[in-house]
Amino acid sequence: MKILTAIPKPLRAWVLPVLLLITWSVYGHVADNLSPAYVSILSVFERAYLLLASNELQLALEGSLTRLIKGLAIGAFIGFVVGGLLGASRLLDKLFGPSFNTLKQISLFAWIPLMSIWFGMGDTGKVVFLAMAAFFPMVVNTYEGVRSVPRELLEVARVTRLSRWQVIRLIVLPSAVPSIFTGFYLSIIYAWLAGIGAEYFLSSSPGVGTLLIDAQEHFLMDQIIVGVTVIGLVGLALNASAGRLEKSLLNWRGKSTATY
């Protein structure tokens, strides 16, 4: 307890990474026969510099992020609409809910063969796959949010004679926003993970996943570590920017789901 409180707050999150780096470099100095899979921290930085200097990393990021934004926009939007409709209408829920729940059970990667035949191995196939990854969590959480609007507030809406659209705009949507945001976070994460996966399974075009595959093929341990780190950092940045957006929309709550 004393150890932890001795570390200033903003630095606490760095405890684990720093310990990891120290172990890493100490291991390199003290180990007798290093495995060929071992690379020093320095060579990882060198590789990162080389990838940046040759513009390879920027191109890879640009490719991955462009597909992410396209897929996320399409998937999250359709997911929001579908989830909202299923949540708002008992009829639609009865008609399509069971089918949706069946589809949801299918592993995302099981769609890849179909996606590649329908939409090709290029960017379109990948974007569709990403959109699917973003779609499901958005539907589930939007549905949940719309369904769990407090009955008490709906009664207030009846007493104050709000119309159907006013109820949706003033009561249902705001009350569902926290849940919708949870869905959006998951969509971002799923889409980002699926995007890297898609680069593995669908033929290569510039991307961070492709960078990793190349590194694996040529046994470039340093490039693998650069790639993994970049994927993690991008994920972190995506989560943080979504958190900022949520905070501005949900200042009535003062708590964010982004931190979980």
Q: Which of 12, 104, 158, 164 binds another protein (CB under 8 A)?
A: 158
Nearer to another protein by Cβ, of 90 and 255: the residue is 255
| Residue 10 binding another protein, by CB under 8 A | no
Q: Which of 21, 156, 236, 245 binds another protein (CB under 8 A)?
A: 156
The string of DSSP letters for 50-108 reads: HHHHTTHHHHHHHHHHHHHHHHHHHHHHHHHHHHHHHHH-HHHHHHHHHHHHHHHHS-G
User: Within 172-191, which residues bind another protein (CB under 8 A)?
Assistant: 174-175, 177
Q: Which of 8, 17, 36, 254 binds another protein (CB under 8 A)?
A: 254
Rounded Cα–Cα distance for residues 114 and 116 (Å) = 5
* In contact, 145 and 175? CB cutoff 8 Å: yes
Nearer to another protein by Cβ, of 133 and 176: the residue is 176
Q: Which of 152, 165, 217, 248 binds another protein (CB under 8 A)?
A: 152
| Residue 12 binding another protein, by CB under 8 A | no
Tokens describing residue 163? 């119309």
Nearer to another protein by Cβ, of 21 and 156: the residue is 156
* Number of residues in contact with another protein under rule CB under 8 A: 25
| Residue 1 binding another protein, by CB under 8 A | yes
Q: Which letter, b or e, does each residue of 142-172 get, where b requires 16 or more Cβ atoms within 10 Å of its Cβ?
A: bbbbbeebeeeeeeebeeeebeeeebbeebb
| Residue 162 binding another protein, by CB under 8 A | yes
Single-letter residue type at 7: I
* In contact, 65 and 192? CB cutoff 8 Å: no
Supply the minimum distance, in Å, between the C-beta of residue 5 and another protein. 8
| Residue 4 binding another protein, by CB under 8 A | yes
Single-letter residue type at 113: P
Binding-site ranges for another protein (CB under 8 A): 1, 4-5, 152-153, 155-163, 166, 170-171, 174-175, 177, 250-254
